[in-house]
Amino acid sequence: MKAVRNIRLCTKDCMCLYVCPTGATDTENGQIDASKCLDACRACVDACPEHAISKVPFNYPPQQAKKDNVLKALRVLLDSKLKQEQALDNIIKTSASPAQKQLAKALKMSTRLMAEDLLRESGYMLPQGAPAREFLQGLLDKEQEEGFPKEAVEQGLKLL
């Protein structure tokens, strides 16, 4: 595991400089030298008053295979998120209340983030390989509306 700093949270109180046993922290450029950072050490994480430093693994484990019933449940949840987003779009378009529109926009963003997490867990977020490739190719094979970003889809296929 290595330490990383969220620059947006860092106020440069520099407690990390005083507690790091290897000198891996550098507040001038905001970087933490991973080659100097000790796996088991959490001194900078625990000392940071802004909680701007956290430990992350060097390598993430591969995504686990999902059983068909789990994938089916994820798709049902994804369909419900799509319906929620459509309902929120309707509220945004038709509501006269600015507060109601603002709430609907916030809920829509939250719903979209949850849907993206569901897609990622299902194995359909780029880059995931065969499912993404099939989806993008399917988009190219079908006739699309004007303004469809065909070049972007072709670029995505090349990257996969």
Q: What is the pLDDT of residue 155?
A: 86
Q: What is the pLDDT of residue 85?
A: 94
Tell me the fold of 1-61: Alpha-Beta Plaits (3.30.70)
Q: What is the pLDDT of residue 119?
A: 81
Q: What is the pLDDT of residue 80?
A: 94
Do 118 and 78 form a contact (C-beta atoms < 8 A)?
yes
Angle between helices 68-94 and 98-122 (to 10 degrees): 160
Q: What is the pLDDT of residue 35?
A: 85
Output the average pLDDT for the chain: 85
Q: What is the pLDDT of residue 60?
A: 64
CA distance 31 to 6: 9
User: Binning pLDDT at 50, 70 and 90, where does residue 8 land?
Assistant: confident
pLDDT tens-digit profile of 89-138? 999 999 999 999 999 999 999 999 898 888 877 766 555 567 777 888 88
What is the pTM (predicted TM-score) of this model? 0.43
Q: Which long-range contacts (CB under 8 A, 24 or more apart) does 136-140 make?
A: 136/160
Do 11 and 50 form a contact (C-beta atoms < 8 A)?
yes
Geometric angle at alpha carbon 14, from 8 and 17, rounded to 5°: 120
pLDDT for 152 beyond 90: no
Do 132 and 160 form a contact (C-beta atoms < 8 A)?
yes
Residue of 12 and 116 predicted with greater confidence:
116
For range 16-21, the mean pLDDT? 87
Residue extents of the structural domains in the chain:
1-61, 64-121, 126-160
CA distance 84 to 115: 10
Q: What is the pLDDT of residue 15?
A: 83
pLDDT tens-digit profile of 70-92? 888 988 998 999 999 999 999 99
What are the backbone dihedrals phi and psi of residue 32, each rounded to the nearest 5 degrees, phi first?
A: -120, 125
Q: What is the pLDDT of residue 105?
A: 95
What are the backbone dihedrals phi and psi of residue 73, each rounded to the nearest 5 degrees, phi first?
A: -65, -40
Question: Could you tell me how far CA 82 lies from the centroid of its own chain?
Answer: 18
Q: What is the pLDDT of residue 24?
A: 87
The amino acid occupying position 12 is K
